[in-house]
């Protein structure tokens, strides 16, 4: 019974580790996310293989069924990841807003400058484009 669940745990965490490793190798994961994922998958795989350590840890926190300690640890990592992503999206959304606002302000300035040039009788970009001979 114990061996069965251990085999399942090793297969799952091993699969996770292999996937993360392959993604890092292909540069699909940025370093900062890769580190967190590598660390968590290595730790989970280590605990799945090294049963006595998992049993020590689970006894220390009062979990009687050792494999569920593995799930508790995995759940902890998932929570940390999710919080991390919420932070990342908050920051991205804010940066996105600042960019959109700046683009709006810059576009207005460019249009004002172009209109000013046209008013002063200086050729603006569109005029210049028209004057280049057609091929």
Partner 1 sequence: MSRHLAIVPAYNEAGAIAATIADIHANTDFDVVVVDDGSTDATAAVADAAGAAVLRHPFNLGIGGAVQSGYLYALDNGYEVAVQVDGDGQHDARHIPELLHHLRSHANLNMVTGSRFVDREGAGYQSSGTRRIGIRLFAWILSRVTGRRITDPTSGFRMVDRRGIELFARDYPHDYPEVEAVLLLHFHKLEGAELPVLMRARTSGVSSINAHRSIYYMIKVLLAIFVGLLRARPVVEAGDRAAVAAEHSI
- Whichever of 19 and 108 has its CB closer to partner 1, that residue is 108
Nearest to 78 by CA among 41, 47, 46: 41
- Phi/psi at 95 (nearest 5 deg)? -65, -40
Q: Is 28 helix (H, G, I), strand (E, B) or coil?
A: coil
In the complex, minimum distance from the CB of residue 112 to partner 1, in angstroms, rounded to a whole number = 8
Residue closer to partner 1 (CB basis): 82 or 87: 87
Question: Residue with structure tokens 């970009």?
Answer: 125
Give whichever of 56 and 107 is closer to partner 1, judged by the CB atom.
107
Shortest separation between residue 17's beta carbon and partner 1, angstroms: 25
User: Mapped to the 3 state alphabet, what secondary structure does 38-64 carry?
Assistant: HHHHHHHHHHHHCHHHHHHHHHHCCCC
User: Taking the complex as a whole, how short is the minimal distance between the CB of residue 111 and partner 1, in angstroms?
Assistant: 8
Q: Which residue, 19 or 96, has its beta carbon nearer to partner 1?
A: 96
Report phi then psi at 69, rounded to 5. -60, -35
Binding site for partner 1 (CB under 8 A): 30, 32, 90-91, 94-95, 97-98, 100-101, 103-105, 107-108, 112
Could you tell me the smallest distance in angstroms from the CB atom of residue 62 to partner 1? 33
**Three-point CA angle 41, 86, 46, nearest 5°:** 10
């Amino acid at each position: 019974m114990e061996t069965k669940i251990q085999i399942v745990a090793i297969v799952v965490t091993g699969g996770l580790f292999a996937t993360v490793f392959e993604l890092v190798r292909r540069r699909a994961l940025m370093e900062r996310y890769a580190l967190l994922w590598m660390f968590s998958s290595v730790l989970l795989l280590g605990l799945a293989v090294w049963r006595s350590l998992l049993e020590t840890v689970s006894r220390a926190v009062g979990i009687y069924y050792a494999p569920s300690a593995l799930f508790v640890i995995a759940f902890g990592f998932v929570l940390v990841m999710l919080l991390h992503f919420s932070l990342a999206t908050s920051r991205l959304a804010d940066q996105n807003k600042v960019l959109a606002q700046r683009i709006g302000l810059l576009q207005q300035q460019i249009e004002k400058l172009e209109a000013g040039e046209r008013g002063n009788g200086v050729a603006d970009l569109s005029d210049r484009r028209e004057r280049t001979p057609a091929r």
